[in-house]
Amino acid sequence: MTLMLLDSASLWYRAYFGMPDTLLSPSGEPVNAIRGYLDMSARLISQYKPKRIVACIEGDWRPSWRTDLFPKYKANRLDESGEEEEPDTLAPQIPILLDLIEAFGIPLVGADDYEADDVIATYSVREPGPTKIVTGDRDLFQLVDDKRKVSVVYLAKGISNHDLVDLKWISKKYDIPGERYALFAMIRGDTSDGLPGIRGIGEKGAAAIAKNFDSMEQVMRAAKSGDERLTPNHAKKLLESADYAKIAPKLVHCALDVPLPDLDLSIPKKPTDLTEIYQYQKDYGLGASVDRFIAALGW
């Protein structure tokens, strides 16, 4: 009963930048993000054959409880009007794609004041595995759990060469215990989210610390006590960033208690009438992308 959780924004951004902008609807509107999303999802559904699926979306890409803690959270992505910067030709495609996902009967779930990551995280602990999290975002490596069979289908190298991330993969990639990825990320920081991490400690230093400790609280106690497992320089940098270290766990950890609707997550059965879907296919010139998605669902 494999559950597939789609990090939808990650997929449509990857589709938008990975598919040619010459893919247009009959009326001349770009549809590269829509077609790419359908094509990628179809390939992964065909490969992993999930019995359940959720398209997870942002309720709020900068939740108030995160920005209250750290006002600079993702502030680097704001445009002059204070909204998220988004390519002009991507924005109009998203409502069409969301309507089409719903027309296919795929559960589409977001929650007010939570990011898609939080929705994904809550499903990953609430629902029985195996669970495949589809994303291009390494933040979600923190959810990998071999015992519960939670893994990440990581798309950084594209669909054909994607990685299936388990704890062994994380350990090999970052030279840390796989279950300590979140601690490693807290220390390293993340420039794409505007998170500084512990200033002066880079990826190698973060890995060295994560090898010896399993929580930020433990790390900071060690820094204050002169624990010999920390170099004097690392201890100094940690103490200098003590205020950030205090809020980092809540900032970096995904929420695991998002209020989620009670939905049937089963792969949708073929409806008696596909007229609405075929109308989208015709109106927006989605051609074989819709056909491939239909085939992947086993219709």
The average pLDDT across 12-19 equals 96
pLDDT in tens, 203-219: 999 999 999 999 999 99
Please, what are the domains in the chain?
Answer: 3-175+255-296 (3.40.50.1010), 178-252 (1.10.150.20)
- Predicted confidence band at 94 (pLDDT cuts at 50, 70, 90)? very high
Instruction: Give the residue carrying structure tokens 């051609």.
Output: 287
- Structure tokens given for 299: 């219709």
- Structure tokens given for 79: 């445009």
Tell me the pTM: 0.96
The average pLDDT across 72-100 equals 88
Tell me what the pLDDT averaged over the chain comes to.
Answer: 96
Residues in Cβ contact with 89 at an 8 Å cutoff, skipping those fewer than 6 apart: 21, 30
Pairing of β 131-135 and β 163-165: unpaired
The average pLDDT across 89-99 equals 97
The neighbour count for residue 58, using CB atoms within 10 Å, is: 19
Phi, psi of 107 (to 5 degrees): -60, 130
Q: Is the pLDDT of residue 82 over 90?
A: no
The C-alpha torsion from 100 through 105 and 107 to 110, rounded to 10°, is 30
The average pLDDT across 85-91 equals 88
Q: Is the pLDDT of residue 275 over 80?
A: yes
- Predicted confidence band at 81 (pLDDT cuts at 50, 70, 90)? low
- Predicted confidence band at 101 (pLDDT cuts at 50, 70, 90)? very high
- Predicted confidence band at 88 (pLDDT cuts at 50, 70, 90)? confident
Q: Is the pLDDT of residue 80 over 80?
A: no
For the chain, give the percent of residues with pLDDT over 70.
99
- Predicted confidence band at 85 (pLDDT cuts at 50, 70, 90)? confident
Instruction: Give the residue carrying structure tokens 């090898």.
Output: 211
